[in-house]
Chain A
Amino acid sequence: MNTPEIQIKNVGMVYQVNNGEEIVALTDINLDIQEGEFISLLGPSGCGKTTLLRIIADLLQPTSGSVSIRGQSPKEIRMQHKYGIVFQSPVLYDWRTVRRNVCMPMEIMGIPKKERTARITRMLELVGLRDFGNKYPFELSGGMQQRVGIARALALDPEFLLMDEPFSALDEFTREKLNEDLLSIWSKTKKTVIFVTHNIPESVFLSDRVVVLSPHPGRISAIVDIDLPRPRQNSIRETSEFYEHVTKIRRSFEGV
């Protein structure tokens, strides 16, 4: 096995509450993530999965332990624009068209205009929004908006992609469609993906490995390998292997 791309060592996160009480959001997290891997952080609310993602993204500082990404700190990685992030909500800027929303991170990175234009076109093609480049966000459905968010994250050609429950606000049909599309995008780009979700079938469908977290205090309670064959289509959800994986993960919660 290669050296892992991302090494998470003994990470802990403790919040001080106003009355002096301490809340342990994460304790003793150890996790290695390989290059090109699709990994899910799965758990109920309060298990610290989003906190862990934000620590990797350098949007939060852990109170103990460390994260190393290709030998660099999360901050160095962030300053070099080496990851793309997709949030729960699409976070599109209302005043920008779809193209200019996708363009936004590249502007800040100082990528030349010609290159930006080419990448935008490519990314919109990739997420299936070729004809929507000049629309404003309010003219798009929720699913389309989230596709724009993914295109924006991929446009800066990051080394890995962080996704924080990106489809949780969408209806089931749209979610399954986007799951499938995400896998197809991923297979074309081969980026490492860390995907936060509370939806068990979603995590099984997408991932190479599912990291199961449990709350109070937030910790890793199981890591489940998903050895379903790729490429995966939505029809795989109807197979008994898929069902077995889902059941296995669900049982691991019941044991908590």
Chain B
Amino acid sequence: MKKSKLTSLVAVIMLILLAATGCSSGNSATPGAGTSDTSKPASGKLDKVTLQLKWLPQSQFMGYYVAQAKGYYKDQGIDLEIVPGGSDIIPEQQVYNGVANIGVTWVSSLMKYQSKGWGLVQVGQIFQKSAMLLVSKAATGINSPADLKGKKVSSWFGGNEYEIYALLAANGLNKDTDVKLVQQDYTMNQLLKNEVDAASAMTYNEYGLLLESGLKDSDLHVINMNDAGVAMLEDCLFVNSDWIAKNQDLYVRFLKASIKGWADACADPEAAGKVVYNVDQSVSLAHQVYMAKEVAKLVVPKGFDPAKIGYIDMAAIKQTGDLAYKYGLLTKPAVISENTVTSKYWTEATAK
């Protein structure tokens, strides 16, 4: 009997630890600890840099993979390690803890961490537009945001729900009473099986999954956050404030190589998709190429000068911060200053 008590005690402790791992998914590895702040690319000896992605290796991050494949980082004297993300990997925590030097995350999520006191600073903006959609089957009859009333809507949550909150509020709907919000897994099965009426989808990923499952554009109704005026910025680059203070030049070199990689990738998404597929075959080549083409539209939207890849549009940043505050992600207005978001490295990296 004593043994069983012990077992249960251990189980309770495990429960606590299990929950606790949520706030420290990282391990004790601290790459880049010895990164030098020499201003010239050292001949022969490369500076090690670790990049933490927000999600699995896929064309969403094709610019880094293309730059890696083409040796752009090496040209800048950088030995880059790209660390994939996952559902329990939080880039902000990884970068703050020093598991990675540079991270990719969504701007609203970064703002949340900054508002809680985490010393992180945004140093680049890769996606110029929001890729977030709310997709429903045409038969459900959700033709406009107002039609969401009384419907079951799914989101990934964990900070990804605020564009939907904003959308609902902008259309006079109460998120708690007018719709039923549920958690969405990383497939589109809930929508396909009609378990939800509308599901979150990224233009470059989940929407493609729906098309690959046999649905046509005409079978689907889409609410685009950009059109609805509630777009929040997504994939950006950020670093630990202490780290950047000592590694400004290193970061500028990283950004130079990355911009070059993104430019190549957006110019030829087909090839970029193949590069990513060579790194990770967990999804099909066709899906990687589809994603690459969609991501290119976010990085270099129509009318956007490819030379400005990585540009931080302060107006869009402000809108993101305002929406995040207005709809409850932030408890106080976002502080937008040189300490939280800065274009100076981008300016340096793109200077002729």
- Does a CB–CB distance below 8 Å link A and B in the complex? no
- Which residues of A line the B interface, CB within 8 A? none
- Which residues of B line the A interface, CB within 8 A? none
